[in-house]
Structure 1
Amino acid sequence: MTQTRTPVALTIAGSDSGGGAGIQADLKTFSALSVFGTSVIAALTAQNTREVRAIHDIPPAFIADQLNTVLDDIQVDAIKIGMLSRPETIATIARILRERGLGNIVLDPVMVAKSGDKLLADESVNALREELLPLATLITPNLPEAAVLLACKEAQNADEMQTQAEQLLALGSQAVLVKGGHLADSASDESADLLLGAGEPRWLPAKRIATANTHGTGCTLSSAIAAGLAKGLDVPTAVIDAKAYITAAIAAADRLQVGSGHGPTHHFHAWW
């Protein structure tokens, strides 16, 4: 009997010691969606559900060692890239991805904290825009991140959101998923994301869920999309399936009692 090869996804991101976001969220998501997860850790954080107390960046040479070591042995079917804070790190990863000719790359350009504070210096934003965006199959910015990438004001309505999605697509990625949860009409009971560049434009609405436990939702969504691509789904199908997964994970988040701040979503809601 011929055994079907296990689909494999790789996450390149920071570690979250609190377990709700970053590498930890990505690996949980891959496992929940029946994909084997591998990882390259770009930074270590000391954080919990209330704060990020310290960040330790991994030297780019060791990031390259991690990435090349995984790729030398394991066939990776999709890659999710999370927050990368240093231009040298971004350039190192981009160089290896180009040299290896890798595809199915989902880039979650984490640049703005929940407080609204910008997390990356201008030189890192420029490196992300110039080095990694053109390699991406899909980028998944929220509205504050889209505004940073485009050096403009944050979109305030659906028309502005679509204009910014078109401008982001022109930066070189194959497709763009702009997440609309920050729209000015956020009092609405629905939130819609916009997918451009993968066939016809698609608005993807979802019900807003009343919970404070939303830590790691962006990481989880992007890694769920990567898991779909690793299993051979096309971009629209991978996005739709990932949206369904993260919506269910948020809906089940209050079943978890973890920490006293913004808790995690429930990655394994279908099992426990």
Structure 2
Amino acid sequence: MAGGHGIMAVTPDRHVLVVAGTDSSGGAGIARDVETVATFGLRACLTVTAVTVQTHGAVERVEQMPPDLIAAQMCAAFASNAMAAVKIGMLGSVDAVTTVASVLASRLPLPVVLDPVLASTSGRALLPMDAVEVLKRRLMPLCTLVTPNLPELALLSGKPVATDEAGIIGQAGSLFESGVAALLVKGGHAEGDRSVDLLLRAGQKPSRFEAPRLDVGMRGTGCMLASAIAAGLALGDDLDAAIGRAKDHVFGKLSEAMPRDFPSPLREKVARRAAPRRMRGAGRNEAMRPVGAFALRPTPLIRPRPNGGKAAGARPPSPTRGEGTAALPDDPVRGQEKATRLQSLSACPHHRRPVPSACRSGRRRCRH
């Protein structure tokens, strides 16, 4: 399935047309779109609107494709394959906007998802203001869904960036007047422990799609989300279901990108929300410790010792620097239990709590 848990079987008879610009760094643009569509088991057809020279830190150069070449690419894709959906990203110019709108108008009805790429992550404008007005008037009314983030919604509405839900709904109202069917306003630029995306449709109550906010940076998440929604629509999902699957997919990719070589309070918070506090059957002498991002399993802290050999209730000897963890020669099973207990009780001096055995205090440098 999608969402970072595997790749679905390819559905060769369903294609998604991706209309966007290239990214030489591979972090966003068509590269991210094709990767996402393939994760959902679909094939992508391409229309390149612009070629960019960029790194993960800056856009250095942009070359727009001629309008007739953009139209020819779209027409060739439609002639070659049956399109189940269209995803639109960077357009870059007034001519590109009008060309894409003209070709799409003759192919409707068809699910179309528009990610209005107005500026790069580094802040460079990727669509002139005169093209923004054409986008609102010519292209957005043709789309099933438009997915602006908070700064993009502010640019589209001509108002300051909204800071609450009421402001977001107010800015969306002016776009509905121009004929937009639905808006998914992304909350990635907002604050708080939860990332909330608002699905807004004229005359309907907002729908909220929430996930824990992860402290990790990744380029191309907007491209990823819009492509995943288009893929869901191509597979026959309704709009709400497609958005939910896409949100799960992006969250999975972000969680995979979180650093794994040290424990993070945010990672542990995500783990606690994603799994029960105590597994069924875990006893009072068992504690939970994170394994990976979400999986939790009980780790024995104190194993009850048999009454034979020593008096009941006797405390086990404290581990010393010279005491090893090898099994006792006269009782291998008891020796292995002792080794497990010592590893579990080894504590990192920075965290003052049980941690995995790779972080034994006094034996090797803490890697957490």
Deviation digits for residues 22-75 of structure 1 (CA, Å, limit 9, x no counterpart): 000000000011111111000011112122111111111111111001111211
Tell whether 2:161 aligns with 1:144: no
SS in 1 for 2:83: coil
Which of these residues, 248, 253, 270, is aligned with residue 252 of structure 2? 248
The separation in 1 between residues aligned to 2:73 and 2:124, in whole angstroms, is 30
Poorly superposed stretches of 4+, deviation over 4 Å: none
Deviation at 1:164, TM superposition (A): 1.9
**2:112 paired residue number:** 105
Cα distance change, pair 23–5 in 1 and its aligned pair in 2 (3 A): closer
Tell whether 2:240 aligns with 1:236: yes
Task: Tell whether the 8 Å contact from 2:58 to 2:122 is kept in structure 1 after alignment.
Answer: no
Larger radius of gyration: 2
Task: Tell whether the 8 Å contact from 2:57 to 2:122 is kept in structure 1 after alignment.
Answer: no
Deviation at 1:102, TM superposition (A): 4.3
The separation in 2 between residues aligned to 1:35 and 1:156, in whole angstroms, is 37
Deviation at 1:9, TM superposition (A): 0.6
SS in 2 for 1:126: helix
Q: How many residues align?
A: 249
Q: Give the counterpart letter for 1:236 in structure 2.
A: D
Which of these residues, 122, 127, 134, is aligned with residue 127 of structure 1? 134
The separation in 2 between residues aligned to 1:113 and 1:158, in whole angstroms, is 25
**1:13 paired residue number:** 20
**1:261 paired residue number:** none
1:19-38 mapped onto 2 (5 Å cutoff): 19-38=26-45
**2:222 paired residue number:** 218
Task: Tell whether the 8 Å contact from 1:112 to 1:144 is kept in structure 2 after alignment.
Answer: no
Higher mean displacement: 20-29 or 198-207:
198-207
**1:194 paired residue number:** 198
- Give the TM-score normalised by structure 2: 0.65
Task: Tell whether the 8 Å contact from 2:140 to 2:180 is kept in structure 1 after alignment.
Answer: yes
Deviation at 1:100, TM superposition (A): 2.3
Cα distance change, pair 232–6 in 1 and its aligned pair in 2 (3 A): same
Unpaired runs of at least 5, structure 1 = 257-272
Deviation digits for residues 174-216 of structure 1 (CA, Å, limit 9, x no counterpart): 2110112223xx1x1112110012864201121111112x100
SS in 2 for 1:44: strand
Unpaired runs of at least 5, structure 2 = 1-10, 261-368
Tell whether 2:184 aligns with 1:177: yes
Percent identity reads 39
The separation in 2 between residues aligned to 1:133 and 1:236, in whole angstroms, is 19
Which of these residues, 30, 39, 47, is aligned with residue 54 of structure 2? 47
Deviation digits for residues 100-122 of structure 1 (CA, Å, limit 9, x no counterpart): 22420000001133345543212
Task: Tell whether the 8 Å contact from 2:194 to 2:210 is kept in structure 1 after alignment.
Answer: yes
**1:90 paired residue number:** 97
RMSD: 1.8
Task: Tell whether the 8 Å contact from 2:20 to 2:49 is kept in structure 1 after alignment.
Answer: yes
